[in-house]
């Protein structure tokens, strides 16, 4: 399909067939989607009208290959809405969200096509299919059933209407958070306001001010700015101001997320009941490794009480530190990061202001690329705009070819800086998914972070930032190393409680001493990081784990409690949060990592709804997986790396995940390595 006036509908004659970012305008998307919806549905109609008997090839594989033109435009749209979304594009996103959902419902409820798919599915036991083909048939049939294909009459119409409305509400929720984060500024106008802030943070605050056309220094609600400010500012009053702004995102009276969240919960519950489930959590978990809420609670209960006990000890240390500083010993939430940093420095002789010069962004990018090469034999070769001839969607973005010998494996985009029109947090996405059926297609993967830009000089990362960088790179490798036939099974298209395994596993290589010794070099002197400092960093990894575990687990438990409710009508999520925190005994000084009004994981989309627990579920897998390398005495053991590549990073959803893990590890996963890693393993 071509349209000389709309670049989205033309053949992309760009290097690597990247989207022609320099030509795309917000107004191009609506007409492009309208044309592509019609084209896609026409293709599904043709599959349904095929007079030949339904087979795997003419039904299942053919559906997987359908809609490639729509897919490339939709992925481009999703990425730009997240990474570079000015007001005009946000307006288009609001317009398109319900239309995209309505199109998905038309496909999912296409009676003619589903009849053919169901016919193939009923013959699955007697068909001569390999493991990947069997998996595709199974997964595709489940996809259709879970999106309403078996519903009839009014139930069918209602399910589609719910999906459309949810898409609209989830977009509103996300855009409200973005507005709160991009619109807030805490100006620091005097030297007294800057008290305690190290040079790198001052440079970042100055850079944020310049980017927003302000004078002096500004703290925004980007985690990469507000959390360091809470860590180093000696101004308790300003810490409180920043903390209150950070934790009240989503509660602005002019864009209040609380009624939006309530309607989302009501619609999800109705959706689940239409499909025969008692609540949305049961529906969501039925297609994950956990299977049931009881399995989730069994996991989280292993860490909850030990973590709270650790918090009690941590609070004593913070109170002692506050007393030593002559400050109030009644610890408030806005004191935690500040006092914990003082305790950490004293306990481990680790001052982040001294550590960060060893962790420049460029050096850590080189470190993670080196790890990928040593583990999986792939090299990352940067391509500049001068080399490609095509600008990317923002000057911040960098492009690497990913090669294994002469073979182009894929493309990797790195977008690492916070911007006003970029959503917060860190994430991986794709512009193009890997597949082989119908011709080899190489993936285009993007990693997004929100590091604070410095006002001149190199970007320096905290060690938490380094872990985040490696985490998203693990997702990136999951997409880049995918080696399957069918797009539906490609890369990160796996259950949510497995998708975090490749990402969290990659974090481990950020703490391997030989990796740090090679790449962590002082940004000014070039001297390698001292071995003693590496050991102190590694030793400090269990520090403050009570706080971190409680903050995370409280969010996971409250997410699950919300979605287990059968009667969300009339729920006040703010009061529900208060009641659940009291019931669980969440320490007031810690709170939740994500308060409900800005809990984008569960309300900006359905992917992590009743699923925030997945990070800890995957942590069990990754801690046990990395233990295999520890047992081998070599973080780059070639035999283990080959198995890791085959069964985890390249397998996508081509085989059942429990089976894939057992093929790598030789047994089922054990929780002890995760508990030990967090310093929560009970010894009695």
Report how far residue 422's alpha carbon sits from residue 290's, in angstroms, rounded to the nearest whole number.
Answer: 33
Instruction: Give the pairing of strands 407-417 and 444-451.
Output: parallel
Alpha-carbon separation of residue 32 from 8, 9, 86, 419, 515 (angstroms): 6, 6, 19, 27, 46
Q: Is 636 helix (H, G, I), strand (E, B) or coil?
A: coil
Alpha-carbon distance of 463 to 541, in angstroms, equals 10
The answer to whether 290 and 284 have CB atoms below 8 angstroms apart is no
399 phi and psi angles, rounded to 5 deg: -125, 135
Q: Please give the torsion angle defined by the CA atoms of residues 381, 527, 449 and 514, in that order, rounded to the nearest 10 degrees.
A: 70
Q: Are 235 and 222 in contact (CB under 8 A)?
A: no
CA 219 to chain centre: 24
Give CA–CA dist 144/43, Å, rounded: 17
Q: Distances in Å between the alpha carbon of 407 and those of 13, 79, 354, 646? A: 21, 26, 41, 18
* Residue of 58, 67, 16, 59 lying closest to 38 (CA atoms): 67
How far apart are the C-alpha atoms of 634 and 638, rounded to whole Å?
9
Whether residue 561 contacts residue 613, with contact meaning beta carbons closer than 8 Å, is answered with no
CA atoms within 13 A on the CB side of 304: 18
CB 596 within 8 A of CB 557: no
d(CA 609, CA 602): 4
460 forms bridges with which residues in the sheet?
A: 360
Task: Point out the catalytic residue in the list 84, 181, 472, 580.
Answer: 472
Signed CA dihedral, 545, 547, 550, 554: sign only: negative
Place of tokens 């000015």: 86
- Phi-psi map region of 318: left, alpha, beta (phi>0 left; psi -120 to 50 alpha): alpha
What whole-number distance in Å separates Cα of residue 396 and Cα of residue 416? Answer: 7
Alpha carbon distance 650, 661 (integer Å): 13
**Residue 472 among the catalytic residues:** yes
Q: What is the largest CA-CA distance in the chain?
A: 83
Decide: helix, strand or coil at residue 522: coil
Stretch (H or E) spanning 448 = strand 444-451
Query: Bridge partners of 403?
Result: 379, 408
Q: Are 594 and 601 in contact (CB under 8 A)?
A: yes
Give residue for tokens 């009644």: 330
Tokens of 436: 């082989």
> Which residues does 341 contact at the CB level (< 8 Å), separation at least 6?
231, 232, 352
432: three-class secondary structure by DSSP: strand
| Interatomic CA distance for residues 355 and 537, integer angstroms | 9
Residues identified as active-site: 472
């Amino acid at each position: 399909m071509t349209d000389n006036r709309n670049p989205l509908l033309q053949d992309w004659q760009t290097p690597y067939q990247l989207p022609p970012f320099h030509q795309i305008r917000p107004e191009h998307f609506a007409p492009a989607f309208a044309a592509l919806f019609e084209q896609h549905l026409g293709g599904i109609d043709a599959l349904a009208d095929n007079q030949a008997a339904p087979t795997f090839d003419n039904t299942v594989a053919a559906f997987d290959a359908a809609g490639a033109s729509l897919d490339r435009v939709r992925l481009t749209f999703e990425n730009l809405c997240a990474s570079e979304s000015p007001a005009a594009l946000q307006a288009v996103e609001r317009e398109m969200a319900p239309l995209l959902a309505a199109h998905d419902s038309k496909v999912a409820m296409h009676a003619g096509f589903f009849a053919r798919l169901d016919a193939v599915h009923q013959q699955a036991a007697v068909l001569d299919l390999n493991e990947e083909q069997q998996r595709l048939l199974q997964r595709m049939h489940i996809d259709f059933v879970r999106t309403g294909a078996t519903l009839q009459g009014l139930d069918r119409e209602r399910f589609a209407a719910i999906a459309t409305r949810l898409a609209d509400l989830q977009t509103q929720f996300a855009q409200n958070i973005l507005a709160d984060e991009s619109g807030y500024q805490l100006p620091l106008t005097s030297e007294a306001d800057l008290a305690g802030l190290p040079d790198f943070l001052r440079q970042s605050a100055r850079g944020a001010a310049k980017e927003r056309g302000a004078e002096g220094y500004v703290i925004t609600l980007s985690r990469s700015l507000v959390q360091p400010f809470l860590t180093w500012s000696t101004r308790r009053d300003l810490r409180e101001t920043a903390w209150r702004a950070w934790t009240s995102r989503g509660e602005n009276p002019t864009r209040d997320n609380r009624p939006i969240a309530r309607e989302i919960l009501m619609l999800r519950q109705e959706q689940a009941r239409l499909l025969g489930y008692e609540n949305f959590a049961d529906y969501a978990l039925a297609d994950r490794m956990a299977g049931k809420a009881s399995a989730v609670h069994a996991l989280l209960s292993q860490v909850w009480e030990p973590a709270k006990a650790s918090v009690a000890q941590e609070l004593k240390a913070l109170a002692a530190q506050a007393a030593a500083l002559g400050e109030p010993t009644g610890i408030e939430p806005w004191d935690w990061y500040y006092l914990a940093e003082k305790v950490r420095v004293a306990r481990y002789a680790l001052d982040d202001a001294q550590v960060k010069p060893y962790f420049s962004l460029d050096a850590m990018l080189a470190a993670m690329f080196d790890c990928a090469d040593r583990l999986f034999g792939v090299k990352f070769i940067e391509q500049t705009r001068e080399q490609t001839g095509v600008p990317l969607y923002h000057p911040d973005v960098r492009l690497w070819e990913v090669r294994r010998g002469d073979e182009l494996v894929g493309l990797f985009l790195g977008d690492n800086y916070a911007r006003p029109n970029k959503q917060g947090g860190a994430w991986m996405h794709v512009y193009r998914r890997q597949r082989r059926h119908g011709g080899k297609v190489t993936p285009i993967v993007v990693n997004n972070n929100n590091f604070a830009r410095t006002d001149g000089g190199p970007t320096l990362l905290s060690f938490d930032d380094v872990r985040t960088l490696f985490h998203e790179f693990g997702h990136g490798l999951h997409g880049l190393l995918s080696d399957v036939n069918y797009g539906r099974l490609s890369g990160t298209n796996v259950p949510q409680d497995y998708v975090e395994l490749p990402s969290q596993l990659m974090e481990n290589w950020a703490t391997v001493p030989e990796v740090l010794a090679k790449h962590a070099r002082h940004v000014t002197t070039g001297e390698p990081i001292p071995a003693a400092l590496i050991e102190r960093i590694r030793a400090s990894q269990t520090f403050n784990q009570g706080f971190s575990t409680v903050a995370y687990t409280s969010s996971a438990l409250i997410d699950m409690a919300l979605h287990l409710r059968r009667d969300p009508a009339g729920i006040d999520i703010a009061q529900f949060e208060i009641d659940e925190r009291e019931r669980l005994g969440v320490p007031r000084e810690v709170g939740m990592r994500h308060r409900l009004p800005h809990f984008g994981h569960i309300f900006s989309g359905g992917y992590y709804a009743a699923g925030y627990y997945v990070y800890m579920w995957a942590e069990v897998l990754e801690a046990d997986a990395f233990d295999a390398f520890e047992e081998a005495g070599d973080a780059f053991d070639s035999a283990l790396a080959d198995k890791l590549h085959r069964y985890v990073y390249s397998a996508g959803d081509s085989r059942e995940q429990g089976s894939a893990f057992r093929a790598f590890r030789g047994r089922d996963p054990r929780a002890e390595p995760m508990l030990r890693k967090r310093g929560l393993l009970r010894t009695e």
